[in-house]
Amino acid sequence: MAQTRLGRAENRAGWAFVMPALVLVGIFMIYPILWSLWMSLQTGRGMTTSFGGLANIQRLFADPIFLTALSNTMIFLAIQVPIMIMLALVFAVMLNDPKTKFRGLFRTAIFLPAVTSLVAYSILFKSIFSNDGLATTIVTFFGGPEISWLGEPFWAKVVIILAITWRWTGYNMIFYLAALQNIDRSIYEAARIDGVPARAQFFRITIPMLKPVILFTTIISTIGTLQLFDEVQNITQGGPSNATLTLSQYIFNLTFRFMPSYGYAATVSYVIVVLVAVLSVIQFWIARDRK
């Protein structure tokens, strides 16, 4: 295509405008991504590394701590994400009902955890589930056994799931609420006149109409849970005996806690990338438009 002089000048100006952003993206995103890919092929500790090819990948399968972290993460994912999505949906539908009283108050209360300080709420959860905390008091009051919440692998997982659900349900709910408020109210009025029961209205009208938003929040939550780090680090530090250790935490430990093993840590990072990609494809496939 023949370039006019004006066209070239416009092109130069255009590049000049996007250059700063491109440079920053290049330095802080593209370069680290490529570099970590390269690193994942290196073995050795600290500064003494050598090219190891796929040795790190072999090491993954023989590494019991990695397998524990992977299975913990998958357990969190499989249990927490569905519970949170359902809960967020139910809250959203209830808060969207004009007959609900104090909607504004509840909406704020449910959303608030998403904007509270991580450290503050971690301390709160730690104290609630400490050996003489509120949770124990309540359970024993109703005649339950004294549980060492953060000391038993099973209950430690439960506490973590409770914590992230508490924190992120409101966040997801806001998406649903926004979507629900965009649905023409007369659709539900038509369903009501036509005698469609409330359950069917929820499952056959609301859910299908929210499908794109549900897909979006599911993928966002999946990614969030696969990268789970803050809550675990602050509440249980991965304990007891690695029962709540997550992949992100393991990466952190490999890099900063033990004698640094950058190459192997990069490989574990790519495990998360692959998991996110595979799970997203599966979710898109499940939610596809069937004709």
Partner 1 sequence: MSAGVRLEGLRKSYGAVEVIRGVDLDIEPQEFVVFVGPSGCGKSTLLRMIAGLEEITGGDLYIGERRMNDTDASRRGIAMVFQSYALYPHMTVRENMGFALKYAGVKKPEIKAQVDEAARILGLDQLMDRRPKDLSGGQRQRVAIGRAIVRHPEVFLFDEPLSNLDAELRVQMRIEIARLHSELKSTIVYVTHDQVEAMTLADKIVVLRDGRIEQVGTPLDLYDDPDNLFVAGFIGSPKMNFLPAELSGGALTLVEHGGQTVPLPPLGRAPQEGERVTLGIRPEHFRKEGSAALEVDVEIVENLGGETYVYARQAGSDVLTIATGGARGLRQGDRMTARFDPSDALLFNREGLRIR
Binding site for partner 1 (CB under 8 A): 184, 186-187, 189-197, 200, 204-205, 208-209, 211
Rounded Cα gap, residues 189 and 192, in angstroms? 5
Provide the minimum distance between the beta carbon of 187 and partner 1 in the complex, in angstroms, as a whole number: 5
In the numeric block, the tokens 């003494």 are attached to 48
Provide the minimum distance between the beta carbon of 189 and partner 1 in the complex, in angstroms, as a whole number: 5
**Closer Cβ to partner 1, 25 or 187, answer by number:** 187
Residues 6 or more apart whose Cβ sits within 8 Å of residue 91: 106, 110, 169, 170, 173
**Closer Cβ to partner 1, 209 or 215, answer by number:** 209
**Closer Cβ to partner 1, 132 or 194, answer by number:** 194
Provide the minimum distance between the beta carbon of 118 and partner 1 in the complex, in angstroms, as a whole number: 38
Provide the minimum distance between the beta carbon of 209 and partner 1 in the complex, in angstroms, as a whole number: 6
CB atoms within 10 A of CB 85: 18
Provide the minimum distance between the beta carbon of 94 and partner 1 in the complex, in angstroms, as a whole number: 20
Rounded Cα gap, residues 130 and 118, in angstroms? 18
Rounded Cα gap, residues 20 and 185, in angstroms? 47
**Closer Cβ to partner 1, 13 or 286, answer by number:** 286
**Closer Cβ to partner 1, 20 or 195, answer by number:** 195
Rounded Cα gap, residues 150 and 135, in angstroms? 11
264: closest CA among 28, 45, 71, 33? 45
Residues 6 or more apart whose Cβ sits within 8 Å of residue 181: 96
Q: Tell me the pairing of strands 48-51 and 42-45.
A: antiparallel
Residue pair 166/116 in contact by the 8 Å Cβ criterion: no
Rounded Cα gap, residues 103 and 184, in angstroms? 19
Provide the minimum distance between the beta carbon of 174 and partner 1 in the complex, in angstroms, as a whole number: 22
**Closer Cβ to partner 1, 45 or 211, answer by number:** 211
Provide the minimum distance between the beta carbon of 97 and partner 1 in the complex, in angstroms, as a whole number: 15
Q: What is the CA radius of gyration of the chain?
A: 24
Beta bridge partners of 50: 43
**Closer Cβ to partner 1, 214 or 254, answer by number:** 214
